[in-house]
Amino acid sequence: MTKHLKIFIFLMILSSGYVKAFSQEQTPVANLPVDKDSKKILYRGVVDQQGTLAYLYNKAIEWFGYYYVNPQSVYSVQDKENGRIEGNGRMRIYYTEEKTGVRRDAGIILYQIKLEIRENKFRYTVTDFNLKAASRFPIEQWMNKSDPAYNAKWDSYLYQIDTTMQRMVSTLREKMKPTVVKKDEW
């Protein structure tokens, strides 16, 4: 091999190791929406959707059945007349061990979800995120990088929560759309 080829191969090996090491340490940044008044994480949106209050309420109940394994354990309010569904959801978060690369359980996040339904529109609100523990632990504390107890894993936890909530909102919006019935023409 020529001297230049050896140097080139050496630099490629060195740079690939650097990229791999750098990429393992980088956690994607979560873009959590924070309410300016309450300073709490808040996912909220109003969606225009054609349908009567009763129709949209039934679609929301269908979505709860689709999204949650046991929707009955989530509900705290089911008020069809006033178009309100409220509940307490939960999700697991994980961390990956540095040495082994094994994914481990980091705890359960509890949150409140509320759907308010009116004629031709609905509003969703997801807030009050807490780590399930002996006492309430608001996850907004994980956003404070100047906290002396700051842990780099917190960024990963916040990213997991954000992506899960984005996915949840996306499925809600999709499932609230009218069902298209295809005719079986054969």
Q: What is the DSSP string of the chain?
A: --HHHHHHHHHHHHHHHHHHHHHHH--PPP---B-TTT-SB-EEEEEE--S-HHHHHHHHHHHHHHH-SSGGGTEEEEETTTTEEEEEEEEEEEEE-TTT--EEEEEEEEEEEEEEEETTEEEEEEEEEEE-SSS-EEGGGGG-TTSTT--THHHHHHHHHHHHHHHHHHHHHHHTSPPPPPP---
Q: Say if 108 falls within a structural domain.
A: yes
Domain that holds residue 117: 33-175
- Domains contained in the chain, number: 1
Asked, for residue 22, whether it belongs to a domain, the answer is no
User: What CATH number is attached to the domain comprising 72?
Assistant: 3.30.530.80
pLDDT for position 2: 59
What is the pLDDT, as a whole number, of residue 66? 96
Mean pLDDT by 10 residues, the chain (186 residues): 54 48 57 94 97 96 96 96 97 93 94 98 97 90 91 94 97 92 78
In this predicted structure, what is the pLDDT of residue 20? Answer: 40
In a domain, 11, yes or no: no
Judge whether 16 lies within some domain. Answer: no
